[in-house]
Structure 1
Amino acid sequence: MAASSAVAAPFTYVNERFGTVCTFPDEIFTDRQPEPDNGDGQQWLSADGASLICSGILNIDNDTPKGFVAAEKASDEAGYKVTYGKAGSDWAVLSGVKDGKMFYERRLFGRDGIIRTVWV
């Protein structure tokens, strides 16, 4: 007899202000937080303390992926340490530790002047 596994149907969130799209298992991130007044994104929490943020920002400083990674690696913010960072022509990823919790962040730098971000 073959074993079977159940796969959760994914949930897709679309941020109306910036058009950021995130698809994730809503059986894990079940606690949707109130959307901020500025409409820049949304946060969900899981029962085990993890969080997922899907958001966008205007790239008013003309940040680049490589510049973003370099600045984050050089940060001296207390409780924040980047242990991995990589950048492409229009994207950047980071992982590390913030306030004792591991994180992963991916940013897409759009030609439309918007940076779309997923933070777990």
Structure 2
Amino acid sequence: MRWLFATATSIAVLSASTAFAAQSTYVNERFGTVCTFPDDIFTDRKPEPENGDGQMWLSADGASLTCSGIFNVDDDTPKAFIAGEKSSDEPGYTVTYSKAGKDWAVLSGVRDGKIFYERRLFGRDGVIRTVWIDYLPALKSKYDPLVGAIAGSLRAP
């Protein structure tokens, strides 16, 4: 499925995603999470969970992309989210970079031997929208240039 954006709020998404030769835009009906990604790389769409909270795609080389939403039932904030993740004692999970703004947070690091990048938007509507991308370190030169454009496309409708 290919989309052409025509709204003024989508201009940034268009410029961020122009690096993709072929792209799809996913819109989650339950939470209104929107993200755009290269569909010639993330080709294997997994079944949507029964709760309808998001979608996952896999690439042929083992990378994954998840675009999802959750209710912010704990009134989490970007800074509190980052602090919690940095203090995690989950085996095989290390945060190496983090940054937060008023209504967003980004993290990257290593989880289970893969590089990950996560961006979260904390909406005024009580929903946290997330893009998660992970890939093997040997594929860093392929995926690092895509991460910013995919994460930058995350938005609410």
Q: If the length of structure 1 is used for normalisation, what is the TM-score?
A: 0.94
Partners of 1:45 and 1:67 lie apart in 2 by 30
State the SS of the aligned residue for 2:84.
helix
Cα distance per residue 1:39-90 (max 9 Å; x no partner) = 0000000001000000000000000000000110010001101000110000
Measured after TM superposition, the shift of residue 10 of structure 1 is: 1.4
Please point out which of 42, 57, 79 is paired with 1:44.
57
Structure with bigger strand share is 1
State the number of aligned residues: 115
Q: Please name the residue that 1:24 is paired with.
A: 37
State the SS of the aligned residue for 1:39.
coil
Partners of 2:114 and 2:100 lie apart in 1 by 23
- Give the 4+ runs in structure 1 shifted more than 3 A: none
Structure 1: gaps of 5 or more residues = 1-5
**Which is bigger in relative contact order (C-alpha 8 A, separation at least 6)?**
2
Identity %: 80
Measured after TM superposition, the shift of residue 16 of structure 1 is: 0.2
Structure with bigger helix share is 2
For 1:112, give the aligned amino acid: D
State the SS of the aligned residue for 1:71.
helix
Distance 1:67 1:33, change over 3 A: same
8 Å CA contact 2:20–2:37 kept in 1: the answer is no
Q: RMSD value over aligned CA atoms?
A: 1.1
